[in-house]
A and B are shown apart, each in its own frame.
Chain A
Amino acid sequence: MDQQLQVDRIHCDGHGLCAELLPEVITLDDWGFPVLKAGAIPVRLVEHAQQAVDACPVLALRLAKARS
């Protein structure tokens, strides 16, 4: 089933580890905050997405079922 990353925008402090670990899906804007690519995460990257979720210092990243 398709997975998607969701950011809790209020708790996100712009640490940027997520973009380091999943550059294919997450880039940082001029102030270090994540910009997520739209769409489901390619299956081969889901494991890396989970690592990005675990690495977030403030638990602002979540992997969830993609909404249509």
Chain B
Amino acid sequence: MTTTTGNETATSTVQGGRDATSAGREPVLEIKDFSVVYRTSGGDVHAVDKVDLALHPGEVVGLAGESGSGKSTLAYGACRLLRPPAAITGGSVVYRGRRLARPVEILGRHPEELRELRWREIAIVFQSAMNALNPVLRVRDQLLDVVEAHLHLSKEEATERIGSLLDLVSIPRARLKSYPHELSGGMRQRVMIAMALATDPEVVIMDEPTTALDVVVQRDILAEIVELKQELGFAVLFITHDLSLLLELADRVAVMYAGRLVETGSSDEMHHDAAHPYTKGLLNSFPSLRGPRRDLAGIPGSPPDLRGLPPGCPFLTRCAYGTEACSRVDMQLLPVAGSPDPTHVTACPFVLPSTPLKAFVAPQASGAPVAPQVGA
């Protein structure tokens, strides 16, 4: 917990970790073939459909996608935090913690047993700090609550513990007396992070933790998260729609579209050699501050209705490379041909990283949404 241990050691382990990730060690959280539906009167909404995702110790995995793509549902579902009408319809989620004797299948556990796992082992930083903190309780009481419920400490120990938690996220201890509305947005978000880290969890899920913040504050907080991660060694699942942020922050990036994973790979690979048309579209939709001005294309249209998707690729209606063959694709994640990164997989069997960018041609008003030809 000491902040004084040299930064160099931390950095080197993590860099070692970066290379070692996904190679030999077993993932701390392994999601396999995971599906969630929302049962509505209009039919089942397939919010997450057969997703595989692994999180290795000390790794930052970024989960990117538009709103409604199922990224939060996936993360919350894996912790079984969803309420009806959501229902988990299949798959497995295995957690392997250092503190636990053997791996735990989260989906098969009794709800009471999950209490020991949640927060202690897997903590979540929720999206909106404004709403996630209790407005009528002081910061101190909210932090004490967590520490007392999960760590069973004495009063003095607990008080000392929450003080050091605030130190960790660089908030003066005097702020323990404050109510949430007396803190700035950035400070509130820091308190949320401190709360998540209160029990020294091994997996921290961060759901758009910085979306509501200014860039300067955002960068501050991200730098802090990375630093804490190196110090404490937890793994992070970072959810956001801002791909540019992920590419800089994460070790690996997974892109979701319409409830499915469409591409995963190391962030370097995803940045320079993205294979899936959707990832390419995302990469080409944010203005860059540095380098020459590029022509931005964006992604036309909006995501499909997740009730009764047609077979094949769900991105077809918005894809510049779409052909008839796309409606028969089975959305298997396959290794990208010629990629130096063996973990780089894509759901599109037709488009390669080298396929040149192409503008989307809107389909004829009534006809089937099939664009003319595949890019060379």
A associates with B: no
